[in-house]
Amino acid sequence: MTQGLSPNLQHLETSATIAISQEAKRRRAAGEDVIDLGAGEPDFPTPPIPADAGIRAVKEGKTHYPANEGILELRAAAAKHLSLLSGGRPVNADHIVVSSGSKQSLFNACFTLFGPGEVVAIPAPAWVSYPQIVHLARARPVLVSGDPEWSLKVSVKDLDRVVPGAQGLMLCSPCNPTGGVYTQGEIRAIAEWARKRGVWVIADEIYRRIHYGTGPAPSFLDLPDELLERVVVVYGVSKAYAMTGWRIGLALAPGTIARAMAALQSHTTTGANHPAQYAAAAALGDERVEHDVSRMVAEFRRRRDLVVSRFRQELPGIEFVEPLGAFYFFFRVDSLGGTSGTEFCTRLITQSGVALVPGAAFGDDRYVRLSYAAATDSIVQALDRIVAFAKKLGD
């Protein structure tokens, strides 16, 4: 650990996805032809209705301290929105806490629920920030490897085998980085496992609306109330609503946990950006915005199909997870002359000008993550380069 830094930071590492994006920007600024398919950020503009609502809030002077737990307009809109996504189940707005992005919601939940040395299971591959957030709570993250024959998802048998004494579980579906989606039956089995063992579940459902099946992706909120007594659902507007920079996340938790998370937040950020909350309320509360979301999801689906088709036709020996949600493509590269994901990505950006994220960032360096949240022309050019590079490695 660097001299002078707190032990709180002894496990902290810089976000690999952010580092890749910065490296791509640096190379482009130096005049290199680099296509960045590393960042997990929609390339669409924020829809007009929430954008106008945010601007209007500024003009109306809604720029002072917000309510710590979030403005009522947003919490009510979020409660109604989540209710509609799950077939009309009641959702209590008083159990929702608004934070500065879903990442803060995840941090608040971990810091509230887990303490020093407690074990938190994280299905891997997993988003880069999950283990870091658990470490910041002084808890101990334990990665549980997913089954390649099962879209790299984990079962309750996997969880019992690897972390029989876990106090917590962080689960992302649709999954970053794989695009895998847990079925309703699989989610129910995990919820029943958690209830039986007294495990807290933090369900990251930020990609729920970006789902290529019928309707939104299956959710913990589709389960009966008795299975939600130890579940915190994290949601937000960053991904499906192209509002990454507005920094609004949501956590739906049992009442005592929601109040504790709000109390924690009162001593950190004192609530999320005030005018941005009005923008988020419009995004979740105005049904007209759903047309924008549907249009974006349809475009993500077309891009997904393009990537999958190219790999199947031109790189048939490469294993990958077929994405059923989110906007990521996770493919295996160790069959290419024994290369690792890190080596593949380092050589790819240097020799072919394409930035991807190595699987080491997500807990499995046999793989590489490609984000198709980019213009189709850029994806096509990047795929041309990736295919040529991969074939050269495989020769």
Q: Are residues 283 and 294 in the same domain?
A: no
Q: Which domain holds residue 83?
A: 49-288
CATH no. for residue 254? 3.40.640.10
pTM of the model: 0.95
Which pair of tokens denotes residue 5? 């830094």
Same domain, 259 and 373: no
Tens digits of pLDDT across the chain (395 residues): 456 788 888 777 776 667 777 877 788 788 888 999 998 899 999 999 999 999 999 999 999 999 999 999 999 999 999 999 999 999 999 999 999 999 999 999 999 999 999 999 999 999 999 999 999 999 999 999 999 999 999 999 999 999 889 999 999 999 999 999 999 999 999 999 999 999 999 999 999 999 999 999 999 999 999 999 999 999 999 999 999 999 999 999 999 999 999 999 999 999 999 999 999 999 999 999 999 999 999 999 999 999 999 999 999 999 999 999 999 999 999 999 889 999 999 999 999 999 999 999 999 999 999 999 999 999 999 999 999 999 999 76
91 and 220 co-located in one domain:
yes
β-strands 328-332, 249-252 pairing: unpaired
Residue 218 falls inside a structural domain: yes
Same domain flag for 351 and 270: no
Residues 38 and 57 in one domain: no
Residue 264 lies in a domain: yes
Domain finish residue from 258, 288, 318: 288
Q: Do 162 and 106 reside in the same domain of the chain?
A: yes
Verify that 299 and 380 share a domain, yes or no. yes
HEC secondary structure over 73-104: HHHHHHHHHHHHHCCCCCCCHHHEEEECCHHH
Residue 389 lies in a domain: yes
Residue 369 CA to residue 175 CA, distance in Å, equals 12
Taking CA atoms, 340 is separated from 244, 321, 335, in Å, by: 31, 17, 9
Q: What is the domain-level CATH number for residue 337?
A: 3.90.1150.10
- Same domain (yes/no): 142, 114: yes
> Strand 200-204 relative to strand 231-236: parallel, antiparallel, unpaired?
parallel
Beta strands in the chain (DSSP E): 35-36, 96-99, 119-124, 140-145, 168-172, 200-204, 231-236, 249-252, 320-321, 328-332, 354-355, 357-358, 367-371
Copy the structure tokens of residue 77: 């809109």
Q: Is residue 311 part of a domain?
A: yes
Domain boundary among 252, 268, 288: 288
Cis upstream peptide for 174 (omega within 30°) = yes
Last residue of a domain, one of 288, 315, 332: 288
| Strand-by-strand arrangement of the 328-332 sheet | 320-321, 328-332, 367-371, 357-358
Pair 89, 218 in one domain: yes
Question: Does residue 378 contact residue 35 with C-beta atoms inside 8 Å?
Answer: yes
pLDDT at 13: 73
Side-chain half-sphere exposure of 208, counting CA atoms within 13 A: 22
Within a domain: 333: yes
Is 23 part of a structural domain of the chain? yes
pLDDT for 3: 65
Q: Looking at the structure, tell me whether residues 122 and 240 fall in a common domain.
A: yes
* CB count in 10 Å sphere of residue 131: 23
**Contact criterion met (CB below 8 Å) for 281 and 77:** yes
- Residues 312, 291: Cα–Cα separation, whole Å: 31
**Domain match, 153 and 263 both:** yes
**Residue 1 domain-assigned (yes or no):** no
Strand, coil or helix: what is 141? strand
Q: Give the Cβ contact number of residue 164 at 10 Å.
A: 10
Q: What pLDDT is stored for residue 16 in this prediction?
A: 67
Shared domain for 212 and 100, answered yes or no, is yes
Please state the domain count of the chain. Answer: 2
The pLDDT value given to residue 1? 47
pLDDT for the residue numbered 156: 96
pLDDT at site 75: 98
> Helices (H), strands (E): how many in the chain?
12, 13
In a domain, 2, yes or no: no
CA 17 to chain centre: 12
